[in-house]
Amino acid sequence: MKKEINFVLNKKGVNITTDPLRRLLDILREDLGLKGVKEGCGEGECGSCAVIINNRIVNSCIVAVGTVEGAEIITIEGYRKTKQYKLLEDSFAEAGAVQCGFCTPGIIIAAETLLRINPEPNENAIRDAISGNLCRCTGYNMIVEGIKIASQKGKGLW
C-alpha cells in the first residue's frame, strides 16, 4: 500500500506517494532520475549507492524510503554544486583516483563525510572512511592520495 513520504533532497522538498518499503536507491534513480547514485552489490557491501542522510554517509540500497520521512538527503548531484566537490574533483584528477568511475560518486560522498568531521585526516582515518567502498580499478592508493591532496589544499574549506 502506498504512503505519502516527505523529505528534503539536495536542498529541495520532495513529496512522493509510494510503497514505504521501496529502496531509497530506486526512488532516487528511477523516480527522480538521479543516476549518479549507482547500484553495485545491492546489499550494503560496496558503497556505490552512498548518499548523505542527515550529515552521515548511508548506503541507499538498504534504506527503505519510509524511514527517511523528514530527513535531509544529499546525493552526488546536489553535492557537485559545492566548492568542496570541485576541490575533490580536481584532487582526484591530480592523483589519478578515477579509472572506470563507477565507485567514484560513493567514494566522493565518503570523502566529504570524512572531511566535514575531520578536515586533516591521517592515512588510517582516510582508509577507515572509505572502508565500506569497493573500487576494482585503482587499488585504493590513488584514492587515498586524492583525499590527502584535497585535505591539504582545502584548508579552511571544511
Binding residues for other proteins (CB under 8 A): 1, 3, 19-23, 25-26, 30, 39, 42-45, 47, 50, 53, 56-59, 61-64, 66-67, 69, 110, 113, 128-129, 131-133
Q: Which is nearer to other proteins, 55 or 82 (CB)?
A: 55
| Separation of alpha carbons 122 and 34, rounded Å | 32
Q: Which is nearer to other proteins, 26 or 94 (CB)?
A: 26
Q: Which is nearer to other proteins, 119 or 132 (CB)?
A: 132
Instruction: Please state the closest distance from residue 154 (CB atom) to other proteins, in A.
Output: 20
Phi, psi of 135 (to 5 degrees): -130, 125
Contact 66, 20 (CB under 8 A): yes
Q: Helix, strand, or coil here: 138? A: coil
| Separation of alpha carbons 11 and 135, rounded Å | 29
| Separation of alpha carbons 13 and 72, rounded Å | 9
Q: Which is nearer to other proteins, 68 or 95 (CB)?
A: 68
Contact 50, 72 (CB under 8 A): no
Instruction: Please state the closest distance from residue 153 (CB atom) to other proteins, in A.
Output: 24
Instruction: Please state the closest distance from residue 69 (CB atom) to other proteins, in A.
Output: 7
